[in-house]
Structure 1
Amino acid sequence: MRLSSLIIVAATFVGAAAVSLVAANFSVKLIEETSEIGVRQALDDAKMPWAEVAADGLQVTLLGIAPNEARRFSALSTAGTVVDAARVIDAMEVEAVAAIAPPRFSAEILRNDAGVSIIGLMPTATDRDAIIERFAAMSDDASVTDLIETADYPTPDGWTDALGFALTAMEQLPRSKVSVEAGRVSITAITQSAEAKAQLEARLNRAAPPGLRLSLDIAAPRPVITPFTLRFLIDDSGVRFDACSADTEASRTQILQAAFKAGLTGSGRCTVGMGVPSPRWSEAVEKSISALAEVGGGSVTFSDADVTLIGREGAGQATFDKVMGELENDLPDVFALYAKLPETVDPNVGPPEFIATLSPEGQVQLRGRLSDENLRTVADSYAKARFGSDRVYVGTRVVEGLPNDWATRVLTGLEALSSLSNGAVTVSPTSISVRGNTGNKDANAKIATLLSSKLGEAEDFTIDVTYQEKLDPVANIPTPDQCEAQIGDVLQTGQISFEPGSATIDAASLSTMDDIAEILKVCGDMRLEVQGHTDSQGRAEMNLALSQSRAQSVLNELRARRVLTSSFSAKGYGETRPIKDNDTEEGREANRRIEFRLIRPNPTEPEPESTLDSVAETGNTGPATEGTSDEQN
């Protein structure tokens, strides 16, 4: 073959190769563009604008920074729906993981006669061994159940104070449950009486650290009444109970209805307690009260199942015998009736008496007759022990012929006198009379129980004791809500104002501070927040700082007036809580104010679980959302 022919053939092959190369390159470009456009569109539809796409031949590379691992895998899956997954190359990065939100630290502590148990989640930094040691010390030989788990996260603000206060409170609460969270403690406990409940609440409020949200649920259970006592009278002074006990609310209603039918007026007071000798207690009381009314008056006294009914002097014997016979047959089997109709006494013959008087100033005088020198010594010593050695004057004399139980009657009368704020006790061979004033609503019941238990069955005694609220140390203390309302009334007429742009209280407002201080001195311990508020003029940061300073100034002024403020806190709210429109001068003036608000812890909504496991399941690694304040204002 000639050389020219070879050249032509070679040129033909070279040309064909060149055409094929151009065609192949064009095809690759087309595939790259098609793949890149398709994947890009799919990612946009899936709302992943952070993902970048780069095609290189048949391969598709995903670039960009994914917000988390879950979104990264989602981008790979989306790309795999457009091109073969084997062609997808992952070159994405994951955004630096934010600090995982700490779990919610909390503890539940239960203490009773069986010991102490604690369960919950605490920061690792909490001294677990010290906590268990304190519980072991307060539970003596009882067991301590430790179900604490820990997590290695920073200790949240308020956790240490809350846990420390909870441990201190538990030492005073042998039967209680305490819930602890950062900045919050909830206590459920039982006390023996309403007075003990008030004292315990005051101690706990006083001991709580500033800023701690304290929720108290202190119960005063039904008292144990021994003996189970009731005393009902119809005499010249009217119709009344000296003591009334019931075992249930239904029993209480039945007894009071019988009393109202017999002539009782007013609301009626009857204590629901434990110790009833028979489930048919209210039935027995109802029948006895009806019988007493039918014979025309007198008294009926229940001491457990012993019933003593003493008719009114001068009542007809025949009627008395008939009614008592019917009552004896009607009473439930367990009750034993002793009925007596007093004989008419010659008013000119005076029985021997012992009289003890207690003045409003606390001075005691003992006068009248005693059976021997030993009784005089014992009565003198007993009175000095009860009322104070420098407050007792003895003017008694020893005579013969007094009853054998005279010593018991005298000492019982002195013990009854100690239940009064002022009054007198008169002891005679046939009766004991107690009269006077008291600040204890249960004094009548207490005295009736004492006399019936010490003197025995069939004893006649009279109780004429008046409850006066001004003598009651508990009733004289207003409730926290009443205190808040009283302070609000003061601020309605005399707002606390400050010098312009300053935290210095204006001199014209010092009298208002005096009035508020006097109210708080009477109110006692309660959780109170002194709140500072401003108008919206000026920068918000400046207003917030000014309101805080003004609230603190008010708190300092209260301390200067000797108000106990350990359970108070000062907080500024700036311009965030207006009560009027800031567009007018009148509104701005109203918004510049100080308020006093009780701190009432509200139940918090259950928070979502925030552990490593839940984070892994949800893929949520963002920062925790700040919870709302639980403060009631």
Structure 2
Amino acid sequence: MRLSRIGIPVLAFIIAAGLCVLAAFFSVKAVEDSSLEGVETALSLEELDWAEVDVNGLQVFLIGEAPDEAARFEAMTAAGTVVDSARVIDQMLIAESEGIRPPEFSVEILRNDDGISVIGLIPRETDREALIERFTGIAGSSGEVSDLLEIADFPAPEGWREAIDFSMRALRDLPRSKISVSADHIAVKAMTDSESARRRVEGDLRRRTPDGVELALDLSAPRPVITPFTLRFLIDEDGARFDACSADTEAARDRILSAARAAGVPEDANCRLGLGVPSRQWGDAAVMGIKALQELGAGSITFSNADVALLAEEGTDEALFDRVVGELENGLPDLFALNAVLPETPDETDAGPPEFTATLSPEGSVQLRGRINSEIARQTADSLARASFGSEAVYTAARVDETLPASWAARVLAGLEALGELSNGAVRITPDLVSVRGNTGNPDASDEIAALLADKLGEAGEFEIDATYLEKLDASLGIPTPQECVAQIREIVGDRKITFEPGSANLDASTADVIDDIAELLQLCGDFPLEVQGHTDSQGREEMNEQLSQERAQAVLDALRNRRVLTSAYRAVGYGEERPIEDNATEAGREANRRIEFTLVQAEPAEEDSTAPEELEESATEGDTGTDEDGENTEDGSSSDDADSPEEGTGE
């Protein structure tokens, strides 16, 4: 009985406990299923299909790889709308960010008299403080630097540092400029002080543009004052061309060039824009003159301010000449005065006109020959030449001919002034013509010579100009002469040495810097005759030394060629041991004799000049003027090949 009273309650309790456990199990199962289904539905509605859901009792686990942190947070938020966020366990991973595209880094720099403003996005590895310090140094004490830069934590793109350094150099030369910089593109828009400054800066920037960078230049300069305002148009056996062309507006320039091209002028012809035009109808008058000369078929027409001189070709039909000139006189604006000339056919018995010539050589020497009309005129011409070209450079061999016209002296002096505008060339004076031909480093020389002659000779003066622009002669571009290049190579080498591996023609790795510097200079200098000389000491057999020196000279030449130097005019010559500069009996002497020299070789003079030297060489290496083995004076210097003791037979 007692057992029944105890057993029944216990059994009831056990049954009740079992029922509770069973009820709890099914309740938890229901909660899990409900949470799982609800969270999966929420993620599906947010299109977060990459996320997976697992449940364990009241805990909800989010599993999967989120594409980024924002997507992970979005999945957590979606799950929190279904269940208590405290029940959501984050077991998601974030995808690697390697594929994220970096931003476009760029900087825009504005500079004016008030200072510098810089705005843009730069990579974190760029030293912002150092960058601003560089801008401050360029702006100077009177200018301020406005820093509007932002930084992104991404690596700098390739070429970024070189582009920034290049922009800094450009900014120093352009006090009024806007420079837009990215790793592969630089755009420069600026105003320069003059046309010569514009050409100098443009040439310098284009030479220094980093590899792989596209450079866009928009440089402008104030328009020059052209006086006299000149246009000269010719048609002869060589075709139609301008000796000088000036215009006051772009519209007038376009109209003038259009008329000239219709008359046969090449497409690349151009007109200078300038101030000082005598009339706003300059373009109309110039177009009329060009069309009139085109109708005549040959001759020249010259506008000097408002004076117009038309010279027809000998043999032009007189009726055609009268009609064209009459139409031109009636059509020209009132301010312009026309003087038209139809030359008479010369007498066949004429022995030929007298002439005066002045020549200017590339070395700067001037020779005056031919006839001049008085002793005073000859002395005046000689004095002008010496004042223009230097007293020591002028040789006068002109003779006096008092039968020459009174205007002869003025024509000679005008020709000498024109010759002064050339780097080298000649002037020929005849009674009917002043001819100027030669080379110049001034792209506007033809215009300036035409303006000078038109002013000095008057409206009836006939002249012709053939001035060839050569970039290497343009001082505004800063291109050194061959002699200056040779001297600068000597400065570059200085105390450094062009060294080789012992006993071989393989350049030592330490030589790369000096070769790089020489190559950069030679790229600027252009093509000129240069001899790369190899020299050795006297140790070893003479034949082996000569061969080794030749191979080493060729190795230097190849290294320059690999650095994109134009070497078509260069030659490599090995002299072996035949040209020592020190005593081979000492180690220091042998080291000095192992060297590479750079020598400028000028062309041999004409055979008829028997008194001229056969060859002029100027050494471009360090050292003192001395005497070689043959007793000839040379200017020697060297970049020693290597400082190691030579091996037997190597001749190092």
| TM-score normalised over the length of structure 2 | 0.57
Where do 1:270-289 residues align within 5 Å? 270-275=269-274, 277-278=278-279, 280-289=281-290
Q: SS of the residue aligned with 2:215?
A: strand
Q: SS of the residue aligned with 1:267?
A: coil
Deviation at 1:319, TM superposition (A): 7.6
- Contact 1:51–1:66 (8 Å) recurs in 2: no
Deviation at 1:564, TM superposition (A): 8.4
The AA in structure 1 aligned to 2:137 is R
Deviation at 1:176, TM superposition (A): 4.0
- Contact 1:229–1:445 (8 Å) recurs in 2: yes
- Contact 2:51–2:65 (8 Å) recurs in 1: no
Report what 2:215 is aligned to: 216
Report what 2:56 is aligned to: 54
Q: Could you say if the C-alpha distance between residues 85 and 438 of structure 1 is closer, same or farther in structure 2, counting changes exceeding 3 Å?
A: same
For 2:110 and 2:93, the matched residues in 1 are separated by 45
The AA in structure 2 aligned to 1:369 is I
The AA in structure 2 aligned to 1:134 is G
Residues 263-308 of structure 1 deviation map (CA, whole Å, 9 limit, x = unaligned): xxx7376423323555644442343345456778653211233212
Deviation at 1:72, TM superposition (A): 4.0
Report what 2:357 is aligned to: 355
For 1:272 and 1:444, the matched residues in 2 are separated by 11
Query: After the TM superposition, which of the residue ranges 119-128 and 400-409 deviates more from structure 2?
Result: 400-409
For 1:296 and 1:75, the matched residues in 2 are separated by 87
For 1:294 and 1:21, the matched residues in 2 are separated by 121
For 1:270 and 1:422, the matched residues in 2 are separated by 23
Report what 1:410 is aligned to: 412
Where do 1:144-159 residues align within 5 Å? 144=144, 146-151=146-151, 153=153, 156=156, 159=160
Q: 2:89 aligns with which of 70, 88, 91?
A: 91
For 1:384 and 1:342, the matched residues in 2 are separated by 36
Deviation at 1:413, TM superposition (A): 0.9
For 1:221 and 1:183, the matched residues in 2 are separated by 24
The AA in structure 2 aligned to 1:305 is A
Deviation at 1:451, TM superposition (A): 0.9
Report what 1:631 is aligned to: none
Query: After the TM superposition, which of the residue ranges 411-420 and 288-297 deviates more from structure 2?
Result: 288-297
For 1:381 and 1:53, the matched residues in 2 are separated by 110
Aligned residues: 477
Deviation at 1:331, TM superposition (A): 1.0
Q: 1:251 aligns with which of 244, 251, 255?
A: 255
Where do 1:322-471 residues align within 5 Å? 324-340=325-341, 354-358=356-360, 363-367=365-369, 368-369=371-372, 379-380=381-382, 382-384=384-386, 386-387=388-389, 389-396=391-398, 409-420=411-422, 423-427=425-429, 432-438=433-439, 444-456=446-458, 458-463=459-464, 465=466
Where do 1:295-306 residues align within 5 Å? 298-306=299-307
Deviation at 1:65, TM superposition (A): 8.0
For 1:315 and 1:148, the matched residues in 2 are separated by 71
For 1:232 and 1:42, the matched residues in 2 are separated by 87
Q: Could you say if the C-alpha distance between residues 474 and 196 of structure 1 is closer, same or farther in structure 2, counting changes exceeding 3 Å?
A: farther
For 1:151 and 1:293, the matched residues in 2 are separated by 64
The AA in structure 2 aligned to 1:357 is T
- Contact 1:354–1:426 (8 Å) recurs in 2: yes
Deviation at 1:411, TM superposition (A): 3.3
- Contact 1:189–1:219 (8 Å) recurs in 2: yes
Higher relative contact order (CA 8 A, sep 6+): 1
Report what 2:30 is aligned to: 31
Q: Could you say if the C-alpha distance between residues 130 and 235 of structure 1 is closer, same or farther in structure 2, counting changes exceeding 3 Å?
A: closer
Query: After the TM superposition, which of the residue ranges 147-156 and 315-324 deviates more from structure 2?
Result: 315-324
- Percentage of matched positions with identical amino acids: 38
- Contact 2:179–2:188 (8 Å) recurs in 1: yes
The AA in structure 2 aligned to 1:461 is E
Q: Could you say if the C-alpha distance between residues 40 and 365 of structure 1 is closer, same or farther in structure 2, counting changes exceeding 3 Å?
A: same
For 1:267 and 1:217, the matched residues in 2 are separated by 27
Answering whether residue 132 of structure 2 is matched by residue 134 of structure 1, we say no
Query: After the TM superposition, which of the residue ranges 96-105 and 43-52 deviates more from structure 2?
Result: 96-105
For 1:426 and 1:133, the matched residues in 2 are separated by 56
For 1:47 and 1:318, the matched residues in 2 are separated by 96
For 2:295 and 2:103, the matched residues in 1 are separated by 72
Report what 2:107 is aligned to: 107
Q: Could you say if the C-alpha distance between residues 393 and 219 of structure 1 is closer, same or farther in structure 2, counting changes exceeding 3 Å?
A: farther
Report what 1:565 is aligned to: 563
Q: SS of the residue aligned with 1:285?
A: helix
For 1:87 and 1:268, the matched residues in 2 are separated by 78
Deviation at 1:251, TM superposition (A): 0.9
Deviation at 1:335, TM superposition (A): 2.5
For 1:237 and 1:22, the matched residues in 2 are separated by 116
The AA in structure 1 aligned to 2:217 is I
For 1:299 and 1:425, the matched residues in 2 are separated by 19
- Contact 1:194–1:220 (8 Å) recurs in 2: no
Q: Could you say if the C-alpha distance between residues 219 and 379 of structure 1 is closer, same or farther in structure 2, counting changes exceeding 3 Å?
A: farther
- Contact 1:230–1:303 (8 Å) recurs in 2: yes
